[in-house]
């Protein structure tokens, strides 16, 4: 699908002291909302915690682009503290947008407008995501969704007729000089309009549905013409990949994948590939096999997000076995990420940024990044390229040229000169997983370049 025209929606701004009141009609609407006390009290707890420990929780208030009389507050937690048990936070949500409303009785309550997933971790990253722990405190079904390689976008109902589109923590906005295609949220909104038009739907219709269901639609923005990541996306897979429908509540609850997929098809989103397994051993065997093969259904991938729910963990004596910080019955995610070649390609991206900022010298690259012989070969090649023509990397730190640079290196590596250089430092690729995954990624090269060249 071709990229939507770069005509940004009104630029959202951080709210100032001037606060226009919503219309009388909206005030009456908000006053009659049935807001769960637990949900409202969650925001009160976040407000108190942000005052007591501002390094733990921060918030920013934004003017909603679709209606400047509505203010939304974005909540951001200290990322490192998600690992702590007991959790210092009253919620584990990553991405949370709220609104203060006046009730009919004159009370101020807090409405959850958009809610992201609870923080989730990779296998073995925390005690409750070891394979053994997962067997003890989760239950079937286990839905494995392809881990999209883009940036997360939330779509929610601001009112029964208007939408709000956000990134993880921001409504975004153009740079001060107005240059560039816009923020993640704005580009996400442009793609949303394109998807809706293709499906014969309107923003008002989607707002009505999300308002009535009290859902946040969670999607991945994958558009290499806006921002490249590691894996390339061909035209037919460029846009918003829908992978979740979250309840706008304190407790994390997301809809089953079959419903999410049907919703994606109805509203014109790209469907996220998935499969369902029945046991943790099946998940382990399946992901290990895909990791060895390096691709799934002919597509290179970063990994899988596994969606399940929390059960009461068994105990040893009086202590739970690697208890998780999530309440029993809530939705629960964990991820299985593949090291090769995704992590290697990500390293190449990061060392290039380092060499561009600090100078083209191998001593500027952290030794931890040079453990792979392939990366050593890449570093030497990219240093020579920077010295030869640094201007070719002018937009690299803006997410442009990442894939093309990697492909040029892989082409050079396959040449006689590249093979001789690789032999000199032992950088021949001898891993079946790396080779298979690299071939899968290379299969997308031509389509990726066609996508980058489109208007």
For residues 192 and 155, is the Cβ–Cβ distance under 8 A? yes
Given 109, 119, 147, 376, the catalytic residue = 147
Tokens of 93: 């949500």
CA distance 387 to 175: 31
Question: Can you tell me whether residue 126 is helix, strand or coil?
Answer: coil
Query: CB within 8 A of 334, min separation 6: which ones?
Result: 120, 121, 122, 123, 129, 134, 305, 306
Number of residues that make up the chain: 455
For residues 384 and 395, what is the distance between their CA atoms, to the nearest angstrom? 18
| Of 310, 372, 316, nearest in space to 339 by CA | 372
CA 241/CA 274 separation, integer angstroms: 12
Instruction: Give the CA-trace dihedral at 215, 220, 226, 227, to 10 degrees.
Output: 130
Rg, Å, the chain Cα set: 23
Supply the DSSP string of 171-233, one letter for each residue: -----TT--SS--HHHHHHHHHHHHHHHHT--HHHHHHHHHHHTEEEEEEEE-TTT---SS--
- Phi, psi of 97, rounded to the nearest 5 degrees: -120, 130
The H or E element that residue 73 is part of is strand 71-77
DSSP code per residue over 328-358: TTSEEEEEEE--TTHHHHHHHHHHHHHHHHH
Active site residue 51: no
Q: Which of 310, 367, 319, 374 is nearest to 348 (CA)?
A: 374
**How many other C-beta atoms lie within 10 A of the C-beta of residue 179?**
7
Catalytic residues: 147
């Amino acid at each position: 699908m071709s990229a939507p025209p770069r005509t940004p929606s009104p630029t959202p701004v951080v709210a100032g002291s001037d606060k226009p009141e919503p219309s009388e009609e909206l005030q009456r609407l908000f006053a009659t909302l049935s807001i769960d006390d637990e949900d409202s009290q969650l925001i009160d707890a976040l407000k108190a915690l942000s005052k007591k420990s501002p390094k733990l929780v921060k918030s920013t208030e934004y003017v909603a682009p679709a209606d400047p009389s509505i203010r939304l507050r974005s909540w951001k937690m200290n990322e490192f503290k998600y690992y702590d048990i007991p959790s210092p936070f009253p919620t584990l949500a990553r991405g949370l947008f709220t609104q203060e409303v006046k009730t009919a009785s004159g009370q101020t309550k807090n409405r959850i407008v958009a809610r992201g997933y609870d923080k989730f971790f990779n296998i073995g990253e925390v005690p409750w995501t070891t394979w053994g722990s997962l067997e003890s405190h989760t239950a079937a079904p286990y839905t494995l969704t392809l881990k999209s390689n883009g940036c997360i976008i939330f779509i929610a109902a601001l009112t029964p007729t208007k939408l709000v589109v956000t990134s993880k923590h921001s409504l975004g906005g153009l740079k001060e000089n107005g240059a560039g295609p816009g923020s993640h949220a704005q580009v996400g909104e442009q793609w949303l309009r394109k998807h809706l038009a293709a499906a014969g739907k309107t923003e008002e219709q989607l707002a009505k549905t999300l308002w009535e269901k009290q859902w946040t639609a969670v999607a991945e923005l994958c558009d290499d013409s806006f921002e490249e990541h590691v894996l390339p996306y061909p035209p037919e897979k460029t846009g918003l990949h829908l992978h979740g429908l979250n309840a706008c509540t304190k407790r994390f609850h997301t809809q089953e994948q079959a419903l999410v997929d049907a919703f994606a098809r109805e509203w014109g989103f790209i469907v996220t590939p998935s499969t369902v397994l029945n046991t943790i051993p099946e998940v382990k065997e399946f992901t290990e096999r895909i990791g060895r093969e390096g691709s799934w259904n002919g597509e290179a991938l970063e990994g899988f997000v596994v969606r399940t729910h929390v059960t009461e963990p068994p105990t040893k004596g009086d202590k739970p076995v690697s208890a998780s910080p999530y309440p029993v019955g809530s939705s629960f995610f964990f991820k299985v990420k593949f090291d090769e070649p995704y992590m290697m390609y990500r390293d190449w991206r990061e060392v290039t940024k380092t060499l561009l900022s600090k100078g083209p010298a191998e001593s500027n690259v952290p030794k931890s990044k040079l453990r792979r012989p392939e990366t050593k070969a890449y570093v030497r090649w990219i240093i020579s390229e920077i010295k030869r023509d640094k201007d070719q990397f002018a937009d690299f730190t803006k997410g442009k040229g990442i894939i093309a640079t990697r492909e040029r290196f892989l082409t050079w590596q396959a040449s006689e000169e590249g093979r001789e250089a690789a032999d000199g430092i032992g950088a021949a690729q001898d891993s079946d997983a790396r080779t298979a995954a690299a071939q899968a990624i290379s299969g997308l090269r031509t389509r990726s370049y066609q996508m980058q060249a489109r208007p």
